[in-house]
Structure 1
Amino acid sequence: MQIAGRPASQWLSARAADLTARVIARLVDESPVYRALPREEVDGEIAEIVHRNMELFATLVFERRAAYDSELVEQRNSAARRAEEGVPLEAVLHAYHLGIGMSSQDLFAAAQPGDMRDVQVLLTMVLDFLRRLTIAVSAAYLEERQIMESQENSGRRSLMSALVAGDPLDAVVHRTGLRLAPHYLALTLAIGENADERGSGVSGTVASRRKLRRLQGQLDRITGEPALTVIDSGGGTALIPCSASPPDWDELRATIERVRVVIGADMWVAGVVAAPGEVPDAVTLTADIVALVGRAGRPPGLYRLQDVLLEYQLSRPSAAHRELATLLDPLVGKPELMQTLETYVANGLNRRATAAALDVHANTVDYRMRRVAELIGRTPSDPADLPHIGAALVARRALG
């Protein structure tokens, strides 16, 4: 095949060195990713791969054939090294497309009308070569990333397990190569279903995985460090590396609300900051808080121990537990009275808010509260009786 009276393979071989230099110059000029790489790497290994591609294509043109897989080994190895360095795949592919594109442009620029048949054949070979390169390079890159992520995830799981179990950490840190944070924001999460999971047109498994990917991404952004997580679609535990200074809890509440919007599901979250050795107790505490706010019917959001101090203390096992719970025994078997009492207390003794929540008339609330007072011998609206009633409700919830 000839272009302007000269064999195309000879033209490509003769121009390979000059084209390589021009490709590298343009690559560094156009791509911040390659501009940030060490210059010796760009002028060394990467330039060698560009030159190798041009020489290989010249051989393919001379022999009128497609590339063998064995001829793309160096390109695959180079892609794997770029994956290790964190160079994005799109930047890797851009380099190959740029090199092939500039070579083709120069090759066809001198073509004459009589060269059209050979130009068509060459163009078909260019596209086939680029296709094979793209497949080989992408596969090698993604395989290396998969191996790296598998090893990284395995290391994170090992570190997470050791932290939560209170096991010695030195061996785990040495084996995984992960850095131990000064402190961790321990979060326990209870997560509701989102619209995709409830919908009939989307696979529940796909919807759950999508929700979890979004959640993981949002948790990683809280401090900019990858979160250690054991979470399924219904909730779980997250340990987020953080500095010694406590987080801004108002800002963290706003962040949790943003996460809720992103995943499209309600979340009840409890958090506490703990040193590595304090993580087991922190996880136990946050799990208790989430269970407590769930039983109490608290709204979604972020909770700390300070937010539920009284309820938490009253929910701890004690000799007074059962005695407190028996205060409400007269309401057993009368679910409408028990529900109205709980709603009335939760709404700050506001009869209209209680009526709206239960979808009944306010007079019905008054009647039921009189019946409650008659049965238990205490009046919810009486400041002297209310603490006992509130404690009894907490005790009954704690006892299940």
Structure 2
Amino acid sequence: MEVTVEPTGASPVEDSQISEMVDFLMAKADSIGVLLAKRYREEIVEYRSLPEGFIEQDVAPTARHNLETMLLGLSHDATITNEHLDRFRESAVRRFRQGVPIQALLHAYRLWGHTVWDQVQMAPQVADYPEGALRIAGKIMQHVDYVSAAVTEAYLDEASGMIHDREKGRRDFLEALIAGNQPGRIATHAKHFNLKVDGSYFVVLVRRRPGRQNTSISMRVCLETVQKSISGTQAKVGLAGARDEEVVAIVEAIRGTPLDSRDQLDRLASSLPEFSVTVGRLREGLPSVAQGYVDAQNATSFAVLNKTPRAYLFSDTLLDQIARSSPFRHDLAGDTTDLIAACDAKRGSGLLETIRAYVDCGFKLVQTAEILRVQPNTVKYRLNRIAQVTGHDPLQVQGMTLFTLALRIPPGPDSA
């Protein structure tokens, strides 16, 4: 950006008086810089939090340079070039890195304009030539506009670049944790994200349910909800990110296990009904987070089948995992549920429905009877009938265990 100052057509006398005002202000440049530093500290909270002496060594010299640049522009043939503005751009980048918000930075430049105008009015030439003061006031306003535009652009460019770099670094680190094949990199980058390499962690996986792509909750909102929901004395989110249609949160267990955070996790699931929420086992050390992700991923299919919005811990699905992965699953089904289903098909006896309700009710006869709307004696008769058909008594511990596992085997000979 190059700003050209047009000739004003003023008389030589008027130009002389303007020149004297410029000389007056230039002579006071150092004291005006000190005054500006004082006002910044008094009126802008964010500047008061800068390190001791920083205002005097950085902010005040920049304010003085700003004044000198503006006074230079009062000459008829002078121009304000990119070189003049570069120092302000550099100071804007420094303010961003120092944590000064853009609102405070622009407040400082407005305060600069008011302070310089106060000094202009103190010039002795103002009494004889007030119009000259107004010309300088217009120049001050114009200068504040130009410099504010330049520092805003530089500040936002720096913020955008740093945010992009930080976001990219966060995504890359999250992928490294999920992959689990870069222990050296994990150890090196953990400190940048305030994560303990030897800490205790579990993974929370929030995945959009099938067929719910066009829904009201975006992945960004989902990510924000996860970050806000999992916090407290039991656990806190150490790192989280969105990956396609899922959000992965690496949660640091401050105290206890995922089971101790169940209420919090269930509330998260209730607030995101369009998503399934699954939780991996507690893992020791960041390099083991990858296995925690696999835990949560394995539990997803069970959460999807259940329409009730609740969090599914890996431990909730452990029996399902055993039933599905066992090389004897087809033998187990053949000796239990397949025989029951065949008996039902032949006699219409409702035995499979009964054993399923009995297992779901925790092996309680009365509750099973209430669900089936029959008498408890009827339930007991059917269970005895199941024992005759299969050779496994559901009223005994071994039979209870076998039927509990068998009912978790998905149908079909090729299911795994």
1:164 aligns with 2:173: no
Which of 17, 26, 29 is 1:13 aligned to? Answer: 26
Which of 47, 53, 61 is 1:48 aligned to? Answer: 61
Partner of 2:203: 187
Partner of 2:330: 322
Query: Is the 2:241–2:247 contact (alpha carbons within 8 Å) kept by the matching residues of 1?
Result: yes
| Amino acid in structure 2 at the alignment position of 1:289 | A
Equivalences for residues 74-223 of structure 1 within 5 A: 74-107=87-120, 115=130, 119=134, 124-171=138-185, 174=188, 178=192, 181=196, 182-183=198-199, 185-192=201-208, 198-199=215-216, 207-216=218-227
Q: Give, in whole Å, the separation in 2 of the partners of 1:294 and 1:123.
A: 68
Which of 44, 47, 59 is 1:34 aligned to? Answer: 47
Identity percentage over the alignment?
18
**Alignment length (residue pairs):** 374
| Amino acid in structure 2 at the alignment position of 1:104 | W
1:208 Cα deviation from its structure 2 partner: 3.2
1:233 Cα deviation from its structure 2 partner: 6.1
Q: Give, in whole Å, the separation in 2 of the partners of 1:108 and 1:99.
A: 15
Secondary structure of the residue aligned to 2:410 is: helix
1:279 aligns with 2:292: no
1:73 Cα deviation from its structure 2 partner: 0.5
Partner of 2:322: 313
The alpha-carbon distance between structure 1 residues 262 and 308, as it changes in their structure 2 partners (threshold 3 A), is closer
Unaligned runs of 5+ in 1: 356-361
For each residue in 1:117-164, what CA deviation from the matched residue of structure 2 results, as whole angstroms up to 9, or x when unmatched?
963x55554443333323322222222233333333333344333333
Q: Which moved more, 1:368-377 or 1:156-165?
A: 368-377
Question: Which of the pair has more CA radius of gyration?
Answer: 2
For each residue in 1:41-79, what CA deviation from the matched residue of structure 2 results, as whole angstroms up to 9, or x when unmatched?
221122111111122222234449884333210111111
Secondary structure of the residue aligned to 1:395 is: coil
Unaligned runs of 5+ in 2: 1-9
- TM-score for the superposition, normalised by structure 2: 0.68
Q: Tell me how large the CA RMSD over aligned residues is.
A: 4.8
- TM-score for the superposition, normalised by structure 1: 0.70
Q: Give, in whole Å, the separation in 1 of the partners of 2:395 and 2:178.
A: 43
Secondary structure of the residue aligned to 2:100 is: coil
| Amino acid in structure 1 at the alignment position of 2:201 | L
1:268 aligns with 2:285: no
Partner of 2:72: 59
Partner of 1:234: 245
Secondary structure of the residue aligned to 1:319 is: coil
Partner of 2:302: 292
1:264 Cα deviation from its structure 2 partner: 7.7
Q: Give, in whole Å, the separation in 2 of the partners of 1:102 and 1:257.
A: 57
